[in-house]
Amino acid sequence: MRVSIFVTCLVDQFHPEVGHAMLAVLDRLGIQYDFPRRQTCCGQPAFNTGCVEEAARVARQFVTSFAESEIIVAPSGSCIDMVKAHVPSLFAAGSPQRQQAERVAARAHEFSDFLVNVAKVTDVGGRFPHRLTYHDSCHLLRGLGIREEPRALLAQVRDAQIVELPASDTCCGFGGTFAVRYPAISGEMGREKLRRAVQTGAEYLVACDTGCLMHLRGMIAREALPLRALHLAEVLAAQ
């Protein structure tokens, strides 16, 4: 099995440690990977803003970058949801580009989905002696239907104490450009999410989407909360 890493633009630019953590887990499992160098972004920022043409331009870049990949793995539920649910529709029905996009979409997996359902592992040999709680990112949960996979992976992490987050499936308020357009609303949603996380007594809030994490980390820093937000890959990579 050889996987192609789609690191996503946010991880590439702002949180490379998440990409490295993902590779560390793959290394530990002995899974071969490559990094298609033409990759940039899936086009979601444009698509969610209504700029379909611009999204299509970026999506084309994505599809051609991964055209030869057998399995595509990304540390982001919302990017994979974009790839699966929307990218094919950006190309004319029946066109070769559409067919290529559909092939690529069928091979794309979010990281936890890949580990549990493709690589068939839940114990990746991680050790993380802390109290954790997990936030369900919207597109991962409702778009891709991934709910149990991250929990199953966390359950196998040695010395980690997992507590369920009340209303874990309520949106954290990120929403892409929503976070910039409606900072006051986004902030209240984030504050509520973080208040609940702090109330669980967890030291770490874990999620599978860098968008949510950027928003939540930014709020934690601004409000100096006694909590840290981590990507699932970072928890799994820790030993």
Find the binding residues for another protein in span 124-163 (CB under 8 A): 138-139, 142-143
Give the DSSP H/E element, type plus range, for residue 2. strand 2-5
Number of residues that bind another protein (CB under 8 A): 71
Between residues 161 and 170, which has the closer beta carbon with respect to another protein? 170
Between residues 19 and 88, which has the closer beta carbon with respect to another protein? 19
The Cα–Cα gap between 134 and 163 comes to: 8
Q: How far is the CB of 35 from another protein (least distance, A)?
A: 6
The Cα–Cα gap between 203 and 197 comes to: 9
Does residue 179 interact with another protein by CB under 8 A? Answer: yes
Between residues 87 and 160, which has the closer beta carbon with respect to another protein? 87
Residues 47-106 close enough to bind another protein by CB under 8 A: 47-55, 57-58, 60-61
Does residue 202 interact with another protein by CB under 8 A? Answer: no
One-letter amino acid for residue 7 of the chain: V
- Is the Cβ–Cβ distance between 77 and 146 less than 8 Å? yes
The Cα–Cα gap between 28 and 200 comes to: 31
Two structure tokens written together for 50: 């209504």
Q: How far is the CB of 217 from another protein (least distance, A)?
A: 7
Strand partners, 96: none
Does residue 171 interact with another protein by CB under 8 A? Answer: yes
- Detail the DSSP E strand segments found in 48-198: 71-74, 108-110, 131-134, 161-163
Residues 3-42 close enough to bind another protein by CB under 8 A: 7, 9, 11-17, 19-20, 23, 27, 32-35, 37-41
Q: Which of 25, 45, 88, 236 binds another protein (CB under 8 A)?
A: 45
Strand partners, 71: 3
